[in-house]
Homo-oligomer: A and B are copies of this chain.
Amino acid sequence: MAEIKKVILAYSGGLDTSIIIPWLKENYNNCEVVAVAADVGQGAELSGLEEKAIKTGASKLYIEDLTKEFVEDYIFPTVKAGAVYENKYLLGTSFARPLIGKRLVEIAKKENADAIVHGCTGKGNDQVRFELAIKAFAPNMKIIAPWRTWELKSRDDEIDYAEAHNVPIALTRETNYSKDKNIWHLSHEGLDLEDPANEPDYEKILELGVSPEQAPDKPTYITLSFEKGVPVALNGEKMDGVTLVKKLNEIGGANGVGLADIVENRLVGMKSRGVYETPGGSILYHAHEVLETICLDKETQHYKQQIALKFADIVYNGQWFTPLREALSAFVDSTQETVTGDVKLKLYKGNIINAGVTSPYTLYSEEFASFGEDDVYDQNDSAGFINLFGLPIKVKALLDEQRNK
């Protein structure tokens, strides 16, 4: 292992990634460890992180603010696709990983590093997502995943290791759920949640908002404006994507919307159970979908449902930097040309309720839809339509009759 002289470490300052630093130096001949903390809107305390990283043995710390890129280039394209994994999961963790992986490669190249290190477990999806991104931009880069190989098997092992190696451990606000947080969502796994028979104790778990029960008795109305499928304004006020998502998180969280309790199929072959908070995201998906119901024609709308299923798999699996994801995005972008308009929603104790939608490109026409007369639709046409639409059924029945005579 002599060839590893310098590594890039995806670093959060938590216990897991902190003890990796001395472990790397121990196992890779005292190699240089460059730590990289990616800010994807998780709202963690970043001040003091550099000091901590260096105290733990890193040679330096990059703090990378990726939030804007995350929202505009990863989240919004996925919202436009309407991609939801297994009908419930809004992919919060999934699409953050490729972005971070890509930045790790950029820094690794700049630093001329020999390997990239991540602290993901060997049982999860994130290792795949990180490594696929790394392979896409640095196919020959060595990847080190200590959790798959070292002897530490529990949190206690980690704490022992940390103490033995003088790693400062922050035990403030101890919670034992395994979490992942960014500007889009917060996930909770582990402990009592590991048994799907258990009802989640939302009062205890939730951080981004409240439960429906605790939400206010009065509804909140909001209006979201989209241009070509991208949200651009809230309540008539134009704002950038990051601001908009943050505001929606506040409003949604306060009204108890965006909770999901899911048993999902991990890419690596097993099922896992998680509770997700995606307050702003849930509102955005909902609003976008409502707008599409008036802006997309039926054939496009229906086929896009299929595309969305594939898009979700692709994002979940970490295959963001692939020709197929790009081709799917090309499809989606083409459909969004006319997805422009305003969606009014009523948020009330966990509910997102439609309160009116308008678009300059609406394909809904009150005139044609109503049951009265109009100039476009001749009701006699439907007789012909039915006769031809039903012709295969009729022919089959006729031939069956003839055969059975």
Contacts and interface: CB of A to CB of B under 8 A. Distances in A.
A304 B86 CA distance: 11
A194 interface: yes
A303 B330 CA distance: 14
Contact of A301 (B86, B268, B298, B369): B86
Interface centre among A123, A350, A363, A376 (most CB of B within 10 A): A123
A304 B139 CA distance: 25
Interface string A363-393: 1111011111100111111111111111111
A270 B334 contact: no
Interface stretch (A27-35, A162-170, A354-362): A354-362
Contact of A391 (B149, B268, B390): B268
A146 to B, nearest CB: 11
Contact of A350 (B137, B350, B390, B393): B350
B122 A380 contact: yes
Given A212-B348, A212-B351, A270 B391 contact: yes
A44 interface: no
A339 B241 CA distance: 36
A274 to B, nearest CB: 10
B272 A369 contact: yes
A230 interface: no
Given A196-B358, A334-B330, A381 B388 contact: yes
A373 B333 CA distance: 43
A114 interface: no
A394 interface: yes
A26 interface: no
A213 interface: yes
Interface of A: 86-87, 121-124, 127-128, 131-132, 135-140, 145, 147-149, 153-154, 178, 190, 194-200, 212-213, 219, 259, 261-273, 289-290, 293-294, 296-306, 309-310, 313-314, 317, 319, 321-324, 326-335, 337-338, 344, 346, 348-351, 353-358, 360-366, 368-373, 376-399, 401, 403
Closest 5 CB pairs of A and B: A384-B384, A122-B379, A269-B391, A381-B384, A265-B298
